[in-house]
Amino acid sequence: VDAALAACSRGTHRAATVVQIAHQTAAVMSCDEVLVMVAGRLAERGPPKALLEGRCGEGLFASLVQHDARGQAWAGHARGGTT
């Protein structure tokens, strides 16, 4: 299912806004923008890489990625690591 959603977001919907709700950080890593919600309120917003690097937000998304093994693998790859 994750692969199908990723293919969809990279495919024919590039000219449209697609809202994807995910409970695994790896599922949103290819998105243009991530919104982190806490108690129904927007807590953080920005491109996944910028959120991971602390260039926007307070580190909530980065903290979520640290607790999600698949997200950690993506983050290591995005930073040039071998994880």
Of the two residues 10 and 45, the one the predictor is more confident about is 45
Of the two residues 2 and 15, the one the predictor is more confident about is 15
Work out the percent of the chain whose per-residue pLDDT is above 70.
64
User: Residue 1: pLDDT band by 50, 70, 90 thresholds?
Assistant: low
CB 9 within 8 A of CB 30: yes
CB atoms within 10 A of CB 74: 21
- pLDDT over 50 (residue 83): no
CB 71 within 8 A of CB 26: yes
Question: How much is the pTM?
Answer: 0.66
Q: What is the mean pLDDT of residues 17-35?
A: 84
